Amino acid sequence: MNSDLPAPVGPSGRMSRQLLIIMLSFSFGIFVGGLAAGGELERLAIAGAESLPFMALALLAYLGAGRPWVRVVALLWLLAILPVYSLANVLYGYALLFPPLPDGTETAINSDAGASLRMLGIVAGGALSLMVGFAFLFRPVRLAFSRFLPIDPDSFVHTVALVAVVGVTLTSFVPLLVLSQPPLLAMQDPQGGGTGPLSMGRDAWGMLRDDLYGLVWMIPASVVAVGFGIRRDLRAALDRLGLVRPTWRQVGVGLAVGVSLVAGANLLDMGTQWLWDTMGWSVTNQVAVERLMGYTLSPVGAVVVGVSAGLGEELAVRGVLQPRLGLLLSNLFFTGLHALQYNWDALLTVFVLGLVFGLVRNRTNTTTSAITHGSYDFVLTIGSVLQIPGF
């Protein structure tokens, strides 16, 4: 039985549809106008490039639940954006394997045949990842996984979500698997032949503003992603996201768990460091991490990271995805999003942290998990600013 929800009816439903139209029109105007205006408005528009394609995909998926021709458009859009995401990972690998010459005018010729083979491996791995993701278009595959995931195999919305999440998750791990090092860190590391910080000419304050711009887009994208204006009114959409006014007890729990996780993560890092050193495996280059995240190392930066990562990532992962795809798959997606900047040892810590955030979400709500996540990031960053040992 298809579990796609009926459209909201009555005054609340009509108001929700009107608000959705206003939201979409305003978002489109800001995006196009910002690109045309340049300057800081252009940076605001560019920040939407990560959220808007998936917001459009969710919108099409909900509309396609009752309109066959919209389903075709949704599938075509899905076929367009996932290869683009995979291509971005290919470009990261290319930038690392074939860095530009010092004058920046052209790309150096890498005479190492292994570099070409690794480049081919990234391309092939990305293609295979997308094939696995698109396999969920077939009902028998969805039916098999519905035994482990809280999905309806007959729901078009759930189908699109599965294809997108599985494809993005697997593709995200490909560069690390092939290169045995995270591309963003390798490009930060002078000893790794990298290209330096990927700041796009922004100073620290500009990069912090970019993080906030991303959050500005993530909030409406998350609301649309759960069917606001099409299958849910605003109250139901916020309830589906788990965005509620937390109790004082939940605020206290979120803060306490977030701060405690800093100590727990340090202990886990020490354990994985010992294991990785014992096994002779490559570990995350902490100097490169500091260079990559150096723009956040200030009191203001700690607040921005706590708010943007805490609320933004929790909305997308624990708010939108976890109730539909379960704790494990949504957390693998969350871990994969960090695979460009961390090696396997640090990704293990990210995965464990994500499990904790997910359990907090299951026991309370997304607001509380965002407080947990945000307080963890804030304490970790401010500890680095103050140069407290262990941070």
User: Phi and psi (nearest 5°) for 281?
Assistant: -90, 155
Residue 36's alpha-carbon distances to 24, 39, 42, 56, 189, in angstroms, are 18, 9, 7, 21, 35
Query: Per the structure block, which two tokens stand in for 279?
Result: 């096994």
pLDDT of residue 193: 41
Helix/strand/coil for 227: coil
Helix/strand/coil for 127: helix
User: Phi and psi (nearest 5°) for 107?
Assistant: -95, 135
Give the model confidence (pLDDT) of 213-243 as tens digits: 999 999 999 999 999 999 999 999 999 999 9
pLDDT of residue 70: 94
pLDDT of residue 94: 87
Query: Per the structure block, which two tokens stand in for 27?
Result: 């978002």
pLDDT of residue 289: 87
What whole-number distance in Å separates Cα of residue 80 and Cα of residue 215? 24
pLDDT of residue 291: 84
Of 357, 267, 350, nearest in space to 310 by CA? 357
Query: Per the structure block, which two tokens stand in for 28?
Result: 């489109």
Q: Give the count of beta carbons closer than 10 Å to the beta carbon of residue 142.
A: 21
Q: Which residues of the chain have pLDDT under 50?
A: 189, 191-197
Helix/strand/coil for 232: strand
What type of residue is 81? Answer: I
pLDDT of residue 195: 40
Helix/strand/coil for 365: coil
What whole-number distance in Å separates Cα of residue 240 and Cα of residue 236? 6
Domain range list for the chain: 10-385
Q: Which residues touch 183 (CB under 8 Å, ≥6 apart)?
A: 92, 93, 95, 96, 175, 176, 340
pLDDT of residue 11: 65
What whole-number distance in Å separates Cα of residue 278 and Cα of residue 63? 53
- 């200030």: which residue's tokens? 298
| Predicted TM-score (pTM) of this structure | 0.92
What whole-number distance in Å separates Cα of residue 203 and Cα of residue 201? 7
What whole-number distance in Å separates Cα of residue 221 and Cα of residue 59? 10
pLDDT of residue 288: 85
What whole-number distance in Å separates Cα of residue 136 and Cα of residue 157? 12
